[in-house]
Structure 1
Amino acid sequence: MAVIALTCLGALLASPGAAVAGNDGFAGTAYTFYPLPPGAPTRPLLPLMHTAGSRWERLDFPWSQLEPAPGQWSWMAQDALVQDVRQAGLDILGILLWTPTWAAEGACNLYSYQQLAELRRPPLSLRFQTLPSPQSVTLAPCATRPPRGLSEAWDDWSEADGDPANYWGRFAYELAIRYRGQIRHWEVWNEPDLTWFWSGSPAEYARLLQVAYQAIKSACPECRVLFGGVAFYANPDFYRQAFTAIANDPTAPQHNYFFDALGLHLYSRPSSIVDVTNFVRADMRQRLSVERPIWLTETGVPVWDDFSVHPSASPYIWSARQAEAASFVLQSFANARLMGIERYIFFRAHDDWCDKNGNGSCADDGPYAGMHEMYGLVRDNLSARPAYAAYQLATQYLISPTWVSYWNYTGGGRRVSFWGTLRGKVSVLWNTQPTPTTVVYPLVVPTATLIAQDGYAQVITPDAGGNYALLLPGATANNGLSNADYIIGGRTYLLIEHDADSPIAQLLEVTPTGVVTFTVRWAGADATSGVWRYDVQHRAPPESAWTAWLTRTPATAAVLRAPQPGARCFRVRAWDRTGQLSDWTPAQCATPQVSLQLTVSAVFGDQNRNGIQDQDETTVASWLRLRDAQGLEVVSPTLGSQWGVSLTLPLGDYRLEAWPQEGAWLPALREIGLWSTTGGWNEAIALLPKQGEVFIPLAQR
């Protein structure tokens, strides 16, 4: 077996500044709006991140700045910011946060400059972002406190009734209605499970979310509201307790449990995206009995080895080298899509490095000078890090999959495959262990393109056995809980298998074999990679919703047992071996048949209305008709007082009608339900007299 070494690949396919072609809007970046240099009129990060494939900007809407005093609004700077971001082609996820001092409830958390600086100085056991809003160099001392009046109705904005106004509800409403049409996604607070962002309780946060949800939906019904980005590891009970508080509100179900999606913040370890997403979804189901989409509203890893920015830097817990950070981008992106994460927002576009004056100290400009860690896809001078090229690859190749699957190899190799993308089947491969490992990958198409995380590529061909054997370098990022804790996998690669042909599917047979059973056969073809699997759906005609029956099945025939008797329609589509999908076939419908022996022993005038033909009650010649549920005759009518006919009919409801020729009698209708494969009906039909009075000769008996 020939092993392909991945240490050096060929041509460079992607480079910083090369715009990404094709984009599904999955990925974004945080704090892309910064003017650079600070105070400049331009925002150069916006086009740079758009070129990288970012289509979202996550930014603060600080209440303390937008309403510095009750009813006094300051919108001008925020309006300009929103306009600039939207004109750059980015959607906005707006964060509602920071309580103004005038609106705060209870004692405020006052930190000294030195305490704030210590909170943010590496080495850190957790990841900290800039504490205040990036639009300001001040943070109100009460910014983390719950607002006054939070327990009032969301739209109680007056104190004339003798109780506090719900100023938070008013702020959320004013914000949503002002930017309706420009912003459709709002996140309620940032990391409320960390006390330096939210010093209230989980129940108070749940109330904050409830009020914001109702206010925003009232102002903008089409807007979506996110449960504020959860940092998770520092206080995993916080969101669970908030879920419980929401579940205890009897109005929660009618308000969608007060959030449309949940934001998660997961850093430094790509595998945590799999683990924590599973935890949070399980908690939603257990505590709320619902499941909501999850957004990764912050993810990233700080780099420690960029000596051009920080000449005296050294490694610390949860940090990575620049090349390892590039690996993190692809691995976290792949795991996010594998887990069905709805949006992926990288923290952050640039460093906003704290040593603004370049004197080697981050302490001399106060605690709000910038970040004490280097997270940026680019540096503050706009030069790209390796993570930028990796982000471009992710947003160019790992988009619009029809399905995402994974495989963990013995020896530490991991593969996450994106089926049916615009460029075919794209597999992300990396090694989770420090020892190099060889992974074997089966042939799908005759040749494939292998791209390294820095954009260098080569065309590869399989060996004689029809496999690719790839030697994956070992992991090196061991700044975890110990030197043996490798938080990021090794150098990462994309294996691209392109199939220009789409598969074709054909539905061959739909045959009822019982009242609820159908035999179905299908086939497909694909000229390049071949047909891999099929999806088959069914529904009851005429317009009920399609129900998935078989998903990615290799079978070409099966028997369905329908949930109820009657007609059933089917359709099928094919997958090829790169994940491309055919169109659904036209629906084919079939109805089980029933053999009916219909016997009308007599049609008689039922003078005494007892339903029995007495000795003096005579037969009445009538037109006898049998109609289906649509009112159509299923057999030629007959005139007489008796009828016997053998029929084969579709399952369903029918109506037997007797229309007397004599005017003294009312017509009779009988409903016949044919819901088994064989049926018989043998009865006499009693015709009631038209007159309300009893027939005179009968009354004289």
Structure 2
Amino acid sequence: MFLLVGVWVWPETAVPAATAQSARDPRFGAVESFWAPGEAAELGVGWERILFYWNEIQPTGPNDWNTLHVHEEWLAEARAQGRQVTGLLKNTPVWATDGEPASGVPRGLYLPIDDPGNLWANYTRRVASYYSGHGVHNWIIWNEPDIAPDVYGHEFSGSMADYYQLVKVAYMSIKQVDPNAKIHLGGMTYWHDPSWLSRFLQMVAADPDAAANNYYFDIISLHIYFRPETIPQIVGNAFAAQQQAGIPLKPVWINETNARPSTDPEWPVQVQAFELDLEQQAWYITQAVALGFYSGAGRISVYKLIDINIAPGDESWGLVRPYDFSKRPAFFAYQNTIKYLAGFTYPVQREQAGNYTIVRFDRPQGTTRVLWARTGLSVTLNVPALADAAVLVDPITGAETPITPTGGNYEVRLNGARCAGECYMGGAPVFLVEGGTDGGGGTAAPPVVAAANTPTPGATSAGGEDTETPDAETGAAQTAAGTPIPTEPSGPTETPYPTATNMVPVPKPSNTPTVTSTSTAVPPTDLPPTPDPEIAVEAPTATEAVDLAAGDEGAIVEGETAVAEVPNSNLGVWLLGGAGMAALLIAFAWFRRR
């Protein structure tokens, strides 16, 4: 029998704890929450995005005004539940373009905004005037403009200059009727054209009238999927592109993020890439939110709450399943992520080594740290305690397990990721929640982190040592030795500049000695049961050694470095000794017989 003191072991089954829901935080969102308002309220989201299709609101001409496309009841219910609505304006009617239906450039786009022939100006002015009375003051101008017109899935068939004119006209016409409105650039995919935003902002900065008009936009929008570890780089790139163009920094929102499951037994899907199960979707949500806010995102929204009007076999992204409205594990993971992070202040801090990530959120009521393994190997960490006791929380079940420190550290075991060739996201995350810590002193607005190395499509960073930390003075990425890491531009104007402010201090040398850990592969958990015949846990070919020297810390304050635990080797010693004794007895018997 072994007595474990201050050691937490993941439970096989657990019952969600009945704890009070945190206050609603407007930074956490879910796309199209109006389709399931009860579930949205239960989830606790503070904002949603709704599509405003021009070709539905004015289907046959400029005198049409179809308010049944976006029901006023949806907007009233959102206000009653404390959700801010952000509208997405897109889809040109056939009568309003000489180009492709839905994606065509609106006719008269380059006319003055008060000219009746500028159809886009007339529409955006009217839609903003009408819906501002229903609480809508945030408008996204089109969707994914970085997808080229000759590429499948494009939504705008005009040029980059045409898109800039689209944004300018919308900005000026909407501000005429709603001066407090916020204009968002269309959500960008990044991967279709990594240098698109940089080139676009250079075009904006070159406009002699832009500076006097706030550069014709207020917020940058991003769509990021499947690989949470790309989030800091993509968000950082958005800040860096603004600096490079000489544009005062504007907020960056992640309007869409998710990792849709393909092996949901109640909604199976055949996919060509990203074979993921229900738990992996849940793990992604928590990891993406943690890394998104660490990166300086002002708001994050999951795509989406529920899928509507899809056929069996279609990809389903929702936290809630279509038709029966049953909740996926990702619903509960997001609900508990909101619960234990709501009200956090910036800066958000991160510590990352080769096989684990810790993201720290300070809140008025204490501190929440989000921990997960980065590879297919499990790892046990000694995490410095900030209080006399804490609870470990399973994001999916909400089960809270009390834990006390031993020698000033909590011992936490993290299960490895499920990797089939690539670890798209880390393993099952846990929350380490402490009350009574000094969670004050932060701000509600995010500081800014510049991009480090621009990610490459298809690349994975899981499993590699992350010794980059943002410099406190410049924001430039640093190696463990403090040498700036040269960036690799993805286009002629893509090189990110350092920021003037930063989210975290430079890590200082830790007093913790260097420790090497040996980790072992872990099978998928049994909670909740998810048949997954196609995804196997990556089996290690050798033991994983992790050197946690002081320079390998992520961006954390002094003295908070987690240490991978050295496993107990007494059993191995006894087995080796027994084998040696047996060999001696056999040799002795053989010599006696001869």
Query: What is the distance in 1 between the residues matched to 2:337 and 2:155?
Result: 31
In structure 2, do the counterparts of structure 1 residues 219 and 319 end up closer, same or farther at CA, with 3 Å as the change threshold? Answer: farther
What's the Cα RMSD here?
A: 2.8
Letter in 2 for 1:414: T
Aligned twin of 1:172: 124
Higher helix fraction: Structure 1 or Structure 2?
2
Q: Which whole-Å deviations, capped at 9, do the CAs of 1:352-410 have from their partners, x for residues lacking one? A: 3632xxxx6x5xxxxxxxxx212111112111111111111111111222334434344
3-state SS of 1:50 partner: helix
Aligned twin of 1:532: none
Residue 327 (1) aligns with residue 283 (2) = yes
In structure 2, do the counterparts of structure 1 residues 281 and 553 end up closer, same or farther at CA, with 3 Å as the change threshold? Answer: closer
Residue 152 (1) aligns with residue 111 (2) = yes
Contact map agreement 1:53 1:391 (CA 8 A) in 2: no
Aligned twin of 1:92: 85
Aligned twin of 1:162: none
The within-5 A match list for 1:558-573 is: none
3-state SS of 2:85 partner: strand
Quote the offset at 1:316 in angstroms. 4.2
Q: Which whole-Å deviations, capped at 9, do the CAs of 1:256-293 have from their partners, x for residues lacking one? A: 11110011000111112111011121111112432210
The within-5 A match list for 1:442-461 is: 442-454=384-396, 455-461=398-404
RCO (CA 8 Å, sep 6+): is it higher in 1 or 2? 2
Contact map agreement 2:197 2:241 (CA 8 A) in 1: no
3-state SS of 2:248 partner: coil
Letter in 1 for 2:393: I
Query: What is the distance in 1 between the residues matched to 2:422 and 2:559?
Result: 36
Query: What is the distance in 1 between the residues matched to 2:171 and 2:64?
Result: 21
Aligned twin of 1:4: 7
Query: What is the distance in 2 between the residues matched to 1:84 and 1:206?
Result: 34
Quote the offset at 1:328 in angstroms. 0.8
3-state SS of 2:89 partner: strand
Contact map agreement 1:47 1:88 (CA 8 A) in 2: no
Letter in 2 for 1:241: R
Contact map agreement 1:6 1:472 (CA 8 A) in 2: no
Aligned twin of 2:371: 429
Residue 254 (1) aligns with residue 212 (2) = yes
Higher strand fraction: Structure 1 or Structure 2?
1
Q: Which segments of 5 or more consecutive residues in structure 2 lack a partner in the other structure? A: 442-500, 508-556, 561-594
In structure 2, do the counterparts of structure 1 residues 316 and 494 end up closer, same or farther at CA, with 3 Å as the change threshold? Answer: farther
Contact map agreement 2:415 2:427 (CA 8 A) in 1: yes
Q: Which whole-Å deviations, capped at 9, do the CAs of 1:651-677 have from their partners, x for residues lacking one? A: xxxxxxxxxxxxxxxxxxxxxxxxxxx
Q: Which whole-Å deviations, capped at 9, do the CAs of 1:417-463 have from their partners, x for residues lacking one? A: 001x1431000000111111122211211111000122112000111
The partner residue of 2:430 within 493, 496, 515 is: 493
The partner residue of 1:374 within 316, 328, 343 is: 316
Letter in 2 for 1:23: R
The within-5 A match list for 1:26-65 is: 26-34=27-35, 45-65=36-56
Aligned twin of 1:191: 144
Letter in 2 for 1:467: N
Letter in 2 for 1:62: Y
Letter in 2 for 1:184: H
Q: Who wins on radius of gyration, i.e. which is larger? A: 1
Query: What is the distance in 1 between the residues matched to 2:293 and 2:308?
Result: 28
In structure 2, do the counterparts of structure 1 residues 19 and 382 end up closer, same or farther at CA, with 3 Å as the change threshold? Answer: farther
Quote the offset at 1:298 in angstroms. 0.6
Contact map agreement 2:46 2:84 (CA 8 A) in 1: yes
Aligned twin of 1:228: 186
Q: Which segments of 5 or more consecutive residues in structure 1 lack a partner in the other structure? A: 35-44, 109-141, 158-164, 363-371, 505-547, 555-574, 579-701
Letter in 2 for 1:349: L
Runs of 4+ in 1 over 6 A off after TM superposition: 500-504, 551-554, 575-578
Contact map agreement 2:294 2:350 (CA 8 A) in 1: no
Query: What is the distance in 2 between the residues matched to 1:289 and 1:212?
Result: 19
Q: Which whole-Å deviations, capped at 9, do the CAs of 1:525-554 have from their partners, x for residues lacking one? A: xxxxxxxxxxxxxxxxxxxxxxx9xx9899
Quote the offset at 1:14 in angstroms. 5.1
Query: What is the distance in 1 between the residues matched to 2:325 and 2:11?
Result: 27
Query: What is the distance in 1 between the residues matched to 2:48 and 2:422?
Result: 33
Quote the offset at 1:75 in angstroms. 3.3
- Structure 2 length as normaliser, TM-score? 0.69
Contact map agreement 2:125 2:174 (CA 8 A) in 1: yes
Contact map agreement 1:412 1:431 (CA 8 A) in 2: yes
